[in-house]
């Protein structure tokens, strides 16, 4: 069952999180959206890929069609592109805290005409967003997404309970990517490795490694291989390898190394991480410490931990050895005493 939900979740992200997914409604979907591409469109893609100038103002139009037989309201929002915790560029999360290296979040340079739009059955309307480019010349790209989702009706307590019991419900959402470029200068990506910390994710023990893209450029086709060792040892304790990751401009995310259902133990560790794509490679070796407090908090949250009984076995072995020595001593003493008495 968990595997089925994981597949559904991954497919959902493939639909809503990639800018080159054309937002045409599939059969059974209740609405569709379509970008009306302007004259300064820089490529033949179906999302907005615009050549801009400093201080330029521009209105972008999106055609929204209600394909159902009922009236519906669509929530419309402009989001800054981020890198989500799965390691993919994501345009669907509103009001995110920007990375410290991001000068111009897409959401901050946009103003939407309406936060929601109501459509009658089979009706089509145009929704707009206004963009104001920064005053100073800008290298690289500004990346965001226009996110559209059907507004859910308020549900009764009975309906909410029924949905929880079923667990799966249809919710349609679309994103149209917006890529803004002023110059043709190619900006090389630059990754940084920041904090390493122990914790839990989805009730599993992990060590999270924060990776940061510090430049205004997309990083695609990214492969990451992270190995963790005990300090002073060359034996790999845990390893996490991923391919085809992507990072939004000026963003960061926590790359997780799964602890494989084992308890986190306080101590000193070493991380060796290699990240690479077709053109670039980054490599780090960094020491870190798992504190007793971090280990306890994570272990208390984790489910299905494989308990380590090594010390219990050692303690039991020592006790058994002491008992054997004591018994042997007592038997030997008793035998010697009996011999003395016989003499």
Do 341 and 239 belong together in one domain? no
Structural domain contains residue 78: yes
Q: Which domain holds residue 336?
A: 309-343
Structural domain contains residue 186: no
Predicted local distance difference test score (pLDDT) of residue 12: 40
Structural domain contains residue 48: yes
Do 318 and 281 belong together in one domain? no
Do 136 and 271 belong together in one domain? no
Do 11 and 127 belong together in one domain? yes
Predicted local distance difference test score (pLDDT) of residue 172: 78
Do 127 and 22 belong together in one domain? yes
pLDDT above 70: percentage of residues in the chain: 82
pLDDT at 167 over 70: no
Do 94 and 6 belong together in one domain? yes
Structural domain contains residue 140: yes
Structural domain contains residue 113: yes
The average confidence (pLDDT) of the chain is 86
Q: 316 falls in which pLDDT band (50, 70, 90)?
A: confident
Predicted local distance difference test score (pLDDT) of residue 111: 96
Spell out the SS3 assignment of the chain. Answer: CHHHHHHHHHHHHHHHCCCCCCCCCCCCCCEEEEEECCCCECCCCCCEEEECCCCCEEEEEEEEEECCCCCEEEEEEEEECEECCCCCEECCCCCCCCCCCCCCCHHHHEEECCCEEEECCCCEEEEEEEEECCCCCCCCEEEEEEEEEECCCCCCHHHHHHHHHHCCCCCCEEEEEEEEECCCCCCCCCEEEEEEEEEEECCEEEEEEEEEECCCCCEEEEEEEEEEEECCCCCEEEEEEEEEEEECCCEEEEEEEECCCECCCCEEEEEEEEEECCCCEEEEEEEEEECHHHHHHHHHHCCCCECCCHHHHHHHHHHHHHHHHHHHHHHHHHHHHHHHHHC
pLDDT at 314 over 90: no
CATH number at residue 89: 2.60.40.10
| Number of C-beta neighbours around residue 56 at 10 A | 15
Predicted local distance difference test score (pLDDT) of residue 156: 47
Greatest CA span in the chain, whole angstroms?
Answer: 118
Residues linked to residue 118 through DSSP beta bridges, in sequence order? 73
* Higher pLDDT, residue 254 or 323: 254
Structural domain contains residue 231: yes
Do 43 and 175 belong together in one domain? yes
pLDDT at 165 over 50: yes
Is residue 215 within 8 Å of 187, Cβ to Cβ?
A: yes
Q: 315 falls in which pLDDT band (50, 70, 90)?
A: confident
pLDDT (mean) for 89-104: 95
Predicted local distance difference test score (pLDDT) of residue 196: 98
Do 134 and 22 belong together in one domain? yes
Predicted local distance difference test score (pLDDT) of residue 332: 73
- Domain final position from 114, 147, 181: 181
pLDDT at 168 over 60: no
Lowest mean pLDDT among 69-83, 144-158, 226-240, 302-316: 302-316
Structural domain contains residue 120: yes
Do 195 and 176 belong together in one domain? no
Do 166 and 109 belong together in one domain? yes
Q: pLDDT tens, 27-86?
A: 457 999 999 999 999 999 999 999 999 999 999 999 999 999 999 999 999 999 999 999
Structural domain contains residue 49: yes
Q: pLDDT tens, 273-311?
A: 999 999 999 999 999 999 999 999 999 988 867 555 555
pTM above 0.85, yes or no: no
Do 120 and 225 belong together in one domain? no
pLDDT above 90: percentage of residues in the chain: 71
Burial environment of residue 258 by CB neighbours within 10 A (0 to 12, 13 to 18, 19 or more): middle
Do 316 and 281 belong together in one domain? no
Counting the structural domains of the chain, the total is 3
């Amino acid at each position: 069952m968990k595997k089925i939900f994981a597949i559904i979740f991954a497919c959902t992200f493939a639909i809503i999180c990639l800018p080159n997914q054309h937002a045409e409604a599939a059969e059974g979907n209740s609405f569709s959206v379509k970008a009306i591409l302007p004259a300064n469109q820089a490529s033949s893609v179906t999302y907005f890929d615009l050549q801009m100038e400093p201080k330029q103002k521009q209105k972008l139009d999106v055609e929204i069609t209600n394909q159902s037989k009922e009236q519906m309201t669509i929530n419309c929002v402009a989001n800054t592109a981020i890198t989500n915790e799965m390691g993919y560029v994501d345009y669907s999360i509103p009001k995110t805290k920007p990375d410290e290296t991001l000068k111009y979040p897409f959401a901050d340079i946009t103003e939407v005409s309406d936060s929601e739009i109501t459509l009658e059955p089979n009706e089509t309307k145009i929704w707009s967003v206004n963009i104001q480019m920064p005053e100073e010349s800008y290298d690289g790209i500004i990346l965001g997404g226009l996110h559209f989702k059907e507004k859910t009706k308020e549900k009764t307590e009975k309906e909410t309970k029924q949905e929880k019991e079923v667990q799966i419900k249809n919710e349609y959402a679309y994103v149209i990517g917006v890529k803004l470029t002023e110059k043709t200068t190619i900006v090389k990506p630059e990754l940084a490795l920041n904090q390493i910390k122990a914790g839990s994710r989805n009730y599993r023990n992990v060590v999270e490694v924060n990776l940061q893209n510090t430049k205004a450029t997309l990083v695609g086709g990214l492969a990451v291989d992270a190995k963790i060792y005990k300090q002073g040892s060359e034996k790999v304790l845990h390893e996490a390898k991923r391919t085809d990751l992507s990072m939004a401009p000026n963003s960061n995310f926590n790359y997780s190394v799964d602890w494989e259902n084992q308890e986190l133990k306080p101590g000193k560790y070493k991380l060796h991480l290699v990240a690479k794509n077709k053109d670039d490679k980054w490599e780090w070796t960094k020491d870190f410490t798992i504190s007793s407090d971090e280990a306890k908090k994570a272990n208390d949250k984790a489910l299905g931990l494989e308990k380590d009984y090594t010390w219990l076995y050692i303690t039991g072995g020592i006790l058994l050895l002491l008992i054997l020595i004591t018994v042997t001593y007592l038997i030997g003493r008793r035998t010697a005493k009996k011999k003395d008495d016989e003499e």
